[in-house]
Each structure stands twice: as C-alpha cells, then as structure tokens.
C-alpha cells in the first residue's frame, strides 16, 4: 500500500483538505462542479438527502468497497459490513472481476497538486498480478439508482485525469496504464474506460475555466 502523502489531511464532514496545517483552497470536486447548470445542481440537491438519497447510497457503497480492498491488502481484519438495503449495489461490485487477480496499492487515497494548490481523493489503485498482464489501474466508483441510469452514466474523465496528474507528481515511478469508472446499479456493474490523453485535456480545460474566476491567479 502507498504511504499517505506527508502533511495532507482530509476532513470528510466539510469535504476539505489541509496541507501542512493550511487549508487547501481548491478540490477536484469544486473545480469540476463550479460551472454546473442551475437545473442540474437543483436536481442533485433534490435527490441527495434522506435514507434513500444518493448520498446515503454512495456512502454505503464506498465504505463497503474500501473495507473490501483493505481486506484484500491485509489492513482490515473486520470484514465488510453493510446494510442489506444496499446489497444489490454492493455485492455485484465487490464480486466484479476488476478486483480479482490484483494487488491493492491504494484505497481512498488523497492526492495533491502543489502548483494548483488543489487536492482530491480517488477510490482505488490496483496492480495486476498476472505475469502476462501488467497494468496499474486507477479508478473511481459511482453508484446510480436504476439500471436505466447505469446505461446512461458517462465516465469521470476529467476527475480521473486530475487524480492521475497529481499521483504522477507524487509517485513518478508509478505508471498508471488504465483509468476506469466503476458504475454500480441495482444488480449490475459497468466498467467505463477513459482515454488518458483526452481526459487530461478535459481536466486542464476545466481548471482553465475555474481558474479565471480566481483573484490574482
């Protein structure tokens, strides 16, 4: 497992980062969401809260995946505990082939870009163990409410590129070969692959739109 980035802390409540005791002013989530349309933002907020909202589902899925990956790496001996309410999302996710035949390099890992003073966290970094298949896979998990939403979900291109760029500056010897969005819906999982070159363009464009709104940038 990768060691945490020295000095980098994540605070889940306010969803903020601190680097060497100073608050990090920008996050990947903030950059990619700042110019979201009002109608889309309203729809997200409308479906967020409550026991059946996307926040509760997403938290349950991510906690289960993190526990599963830490069990694989030997850093969690308590097993995976989750509410049966979300079993249709969690069980197919944990049983997916992408998590077979791999070494877990990182789970819920926070990264930082000192130039942009921006931070973020990705869900997993895996290294395949087959002698015939040498890959390092950086990925993020998403959950959706229905199978219809599952088929419509787009890959998190710019988000993954942001994480890859930060990881590359922190761990230059790690060459990520695959960027994937793992989307889980009720009873089904889809793997969406991202082209790294075009994804990096999307991230830099998103940062460009965001940064022009900043004073003295």
Q: What is the pLDDT of residues 141-162, one digit of tens each?
A: 999 999 889 999 999 999 999 9
Per cent of the chain over pLDDT 90 is 76
Mean pLDDT of 179-186: 97
Q: Which tokens is 58 given?
A: 């997403």
- The share of the chain scoring above pLDDT 70, in percent, equals 99
Q: Specify whether the CB–CB gap between 169 and 113 falls below 8 A.
A: yes
d(CA 189, CA 147): 9
**Using an 8 Å Cβ cutoff, are 199 and 161 in contact?**
yes
* Tokens found for residue 65: 């995946």
pLDDT at 178: 96
Segment 106-148, tens digit of pLDDT: 999 999 999 999 999 999 999 999 989 999 999 999 999 998 8
Q: Which of 64, 63, 194 is nearest to 138 (CA)?
A: 194
pLDDT band with cut points at 50, 70 and 90 for residue 59: very high
In the chain the beta strands, taken as DSSP E runs, fall at: 8-11, 16-19, 22-23, 26-27, 102-113, 118-128, 136-143, 178-185, 188-194
CA-CA distance, 75 to 186, in Å (whole number)? Answer: 28
Residue with tokens 């040498």: 134
In the predicted structure, residue 88 carries a pLDDT above the cut 60:
yes
Give the closest residue to 185 by CA, choosing from 141, 145, 154.
145
Residue 36's pLDDT is: 84
Place of tokens 């926070």: 110
């Amino acid at each position: 497992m990768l060691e945490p980035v020295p000095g980098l802390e994540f605070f889940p409540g306010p969803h903020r980062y601190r680097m060497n005791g100073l608050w990090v002013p920008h996050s990947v989530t903030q950059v990619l969401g700042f110019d979201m349309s009002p109608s889309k933002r309203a729809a997200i907020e409308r479906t967020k809260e409550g026991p059946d909202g996307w926040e509760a589902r997403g938290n349950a899925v991510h906690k289960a995946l993190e526990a599963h990956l830490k069990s694989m790496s030997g850093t969690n001996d308590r097993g995976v505990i989750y509410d049966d309410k979300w079993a249709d999302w969690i069980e197919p996710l944990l049983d997916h082939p992408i998590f077979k035949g791999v070494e877990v390099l990182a789970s819920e890992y926070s990264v930082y870009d000192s130039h942009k003073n921006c931070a973020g966290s990705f869900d997993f970094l895996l290294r395949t163990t087959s002698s015939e298949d040498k890959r390092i896979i950086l990925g993020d998990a998403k959950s959706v409410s229905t199978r219809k939403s599952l088929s419509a979900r787009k890959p998190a291109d710019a988000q993954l590129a942001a994480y890859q760029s930060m990881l590359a500056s922190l761990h230059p010897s790690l060459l990520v070969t695959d960027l994937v969005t793992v989307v889980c819906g009720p009873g089904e999982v889809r793997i969406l692959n991202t082209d790294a070159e075009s994804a990096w363009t999307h991230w830099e464009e998103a940062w460009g739109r965001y940064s022009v709104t900043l004073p003295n940038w």
